[in-house]
Amino acid sequence: MTASIEIRRVSKRFGDFTALDDVSLALPGGGFFTLLGPSGCGKTTLLRLIAGFEYPTEGAILLDGADIAAMPPNRRPVNTVFQSYALFPHMTVADNIAFGLEMLDRPRTEVRATVAEMLALVKMEALARRRPAQLSGGQQQRVALARALAPKPKVLLLDEPLSALDLKLRKEMQSELKRLQRETGVTFVFVTHDQEEALTMSDAVAVMSAGRVLQVGAPRDIYAHPADRFVAGFIGETNFLEGRVAGMDGPLVRVALDGGGTVTAAARAEPPATGARTTLAVRPEHVALTDADAPGALTGAVSEIVYVGPETHAHLTLDAGPTLLVRLPNRGDGAAEPRPGDRLGALIRPGIAQMLKD
Amino acid sequence: MADAPMRRTRPFSVTAMPGFATVAAATILCLYAPILVVVAYSFNAGASIQVWEGFSLRWYAVAWDNGAVQDATARSLALAASASAIATTLATMAAVATARGRFRGRTAVYVAINQPLMAPEIVTAVALLIVFAQVKLITGVQGLGYLIAAHAAFCIPFAYLPIRARLKGLDPLLETAAADLYATPWRTFRRITLPLMGPGIAAGAMLAFVISLDDVIITEFVKSAGQDTLPTYMLGQLRRAMTPEINAISTALLGATLVLLTCFFLLTRTRDN
């Protein structure tokens, strides 16, 4: 049931525009896989290539080892949940769900049983005889899911299916999608530009930009160890610190920051050359504020305090030049909050800053 | 800019012009008064179309019992039904090709389909007369087929326009979704495109039917002896003494046309919901 997809050196050009530039990706079967990137990064194009709505200019798309790149969409065991749902307006909910099975010429009894099963799966039994126009956005979403899952595809493609829903419904549908993926075991390929959605739902994420895949990994890896500046900036908030490699400290790298101060950071795979310029990424919640004279702290003055509810954001302008964003959780224990103008130190634990690819 | 003097400028509206109401009323009167007079005199008890002698349905009965009227009506209906069926089928195919297909010369095709709307009808009529005369001479084939072919040809653009408009408003993603759900192109057309085009096709068929029903010029040129349709029969009657019978026939034709056109507008009104 679980099917793996391999994208092998795929490029897609529309005239002069390169939508995908030599993309290679291996999606293991049976997981929740997310293509994440800003609009225009090529993620939807990649999805359409897997679905068969477009054909690659170069490269191969392998489903369980067989190249399907030139196969028309109606021959691929792959179904799609569209961003606008694309439900058939002249058919009832049940007829929409039955459509794929009927096109596969499944026996009538099987069609009826599967439709009932799917209606139950998405909890839409009561509305089976309604038309799409009589449903809310969330209900239409469920029907679109049921319709795409009914033929038991090897791979389910989801093209930003949650973007049209309001925040509360979106949260609900996120866990609903996770549940459906677990229960059906179908490989989900999910496209989104919402990094939070990608982190919370996925087993693996591919971050894309300008037609290329920049990094593939589990949400934790991508967040904790972003490969480059784009990934670090696109996923969550990040402080960037510039400096030069001063030397090794076991597996870690000592980096002398421009303007003073040293941070011990996690290295990338290849050991860096001493003296090389480098950029470090530090997550705002990984920085601790201490007294200005604490050993090893980067010193600076608080320039701004922003209260956002669960946490307070402190902007610390370092003596070395850059401003650090620091997230302080509001635990409600009455701890004194820093105030603008306070002189404080910022502690960055060894190994928590990540050295980026240039 | 903020302290520039405020000048009240109203957007130009023709309804605000002096005398608008008068002109509008006069126009409507000119358009509808003659028709109302024709309708009114169809109920005249006397034999005049100008002197009112009391209400009666007499002339409807006369027209109903007139064998020539019956014959012409039957021919008109058969002709309109066949011609609109053919025209609608061809127009549907043309609409699918021009709205969905991507090929060179689509504009040329569009112009060609709509040619009967631009070409003077009398020219088409003369051309068809000459061509059909030749064909009849060579093949010896007579019959209603010539009229059906001629009517189908000039009905195509009238059927085509509402069908194409409906198809243009149809989200192509629905066809993509059907293909994604294992439908072959033909089954996608049968199960998705065609049903959703339904109202447009019905509207096109009705418009074509009405256009065929009241055509005079081309019919007059193409028809053989004894092939009168209702409009050409009426034209022939005008050369003789006129009785309110002609008013009665006109009124019946007007009623039928109004019913069909009402259906047309209901069908082409804003989409489902």
**Residue range A271-311, pLDDT digits in tens:** 778 888 889 999 999 998 888 888 888 889 899 999 988 88
A150 lies in some domain: yes
Instruction: Please check the confidence at residue A7 and state whether its pLDDT lies above 50.
Output: yes
CA B80 – CA B147 distance, rounded (Å):
10
B201 close contact with A: CB closer than 8 A: no
Per-residue model confidence (pLDDT) at position A335? 72
Split at pLDDT 50, 70, 90, the class of A338 is: confident
Per-residue pLDDT tens over the stretch A143-197: 999 999 999 999 999 999 888 788 888 888 898 899 889 988 899 999 999 988 8
* A207 and A128 within one domain: yes
CA A227 – CA A340 distance, rounded (Å):
34
From the CA of A27, how many Å to the nearest CA of chain B? 21
Distances (CA, A) of A245 to A249, A348, B41, B44, B101: 11, 16, 105, 109, 60
From the CA of A80, how many Å to the nearest CA of chain B? 7
Q: Which residue, A213, A231, A249, sits at the end of a domain? A: A231
Q: Which member of B174, B181, B183 has the closest CB to residue A79?
A: B181
Q: Which residue of B has its CA nearest to A147?
A: B181
Q: Which residue, A169, A198, A231, sits at the end of a domain? A: A231
* A217 and A257 within one domain: no
State mean pLDDT over A317-341: 85
* A192 and A120 within one domain: yes
Q: Which residue of A has its CA nearest to B179?
A: A74
CA A90 – CA A95 distance, rounded (Å):
9
Distances (CA, A) of A169 to A132, A139, A149, B25, B117: 18, 10, 21, 56, 53
Contact A55, A49 (CB under 8 A): yes
Number of domains present in the structure of chain B: 1
A133 close contact with B: CB closer than 8 A: yes
B187 lies in some domain: yes
Binary contact (B182, A104; C-beta < 8 A):
yes
* A203 and A269 within one domain: no
Number of domains present in the structure of chain A: 2
Instruction: Please check the confidence at residue A84 and state whether its pLDDT lies above 60.
Output: yes
A153 close contact with B: CB closer than 8 A: no
Q: How many residues would you count in chain A? A: 358
CA A295 – CA B260 distance, rounded (Å):
91
Q: Which member of B178, B191, B272 has the closest CB to residue A89?
A: B272
Q: Which domain holds residue A40?
A: 5-231
* A43 and A188 within one domain: yes
State mean pLDDT over A93-119: 94
B13 lies in some domain: no
Per-residue pLDDT tens over the stretch A238-255: 999 999 998 888 888 899
* A162 and A19 within one domain: yes
* A210 and A296 within one domain: no
Binary contact (B272, A104; C-beta < 8 A):
no
* A255 and A134 within one domain: no
We report the CATH number of the domain holding residue A260 as 2.40.50.140
* A288 and A202 within one domain: no
Binary contact (A147, B273; C-beta < 8 A):
no
Binary contact (A89, B177; C-beta < 8 A):
no
* A242 and A223 within one domain: no
Q: Which residue, A168, A203, A231, sits at the end of a domain? A: A231
Per-residue model confidence (pLDDT) at position B101? 73
A358 lies in some domain: no
Contact A243, A257 (CB under 8 A): yes
Per-residue model confidence (pLDDT) at position B83? 94
Per-residue pLDDT tens over the stretch A11-44: 999 988 999 999 999 988 889 999 999 988 999 9
We report the CATH number of the domain holding residue A48 as 3.40.50.300
Split chain B (273 residues) into runs of 10 and give each run's mean pLDDT: 57 79 90 88 81 82 85 91 95 87 79 83 90 88 87 91 89 93 93 91 91 90 86 86 84 89 79 44
Question: Which residues of chain B from 142 to 171 reach within 8 Å of chain A, CB to CB?
Answer: 171
Q: Which domain holds residue B83?
A: 66-268
* A217 and A344 within one domain: no
Per-residue model confidence (pLDDT) at position B5? 55
B205 lies in some domain: yes
Chain A residues close to B173, C-beta within 8 Å = 82, 84, 86
We report the CATH number of the domain holding residue B252 as 1.10.3720.10
Binary contact (A88, B183; C-beta < 8 A):
no
B204 lies in some domain: yes
Contact B230, B147 (CB under 8 A): no
* A201 and A69 within one domain: yes
Chain A residues close to B187, C-beta within 8 Å = 103
- What ipTM did this prediction achieve? 0.82
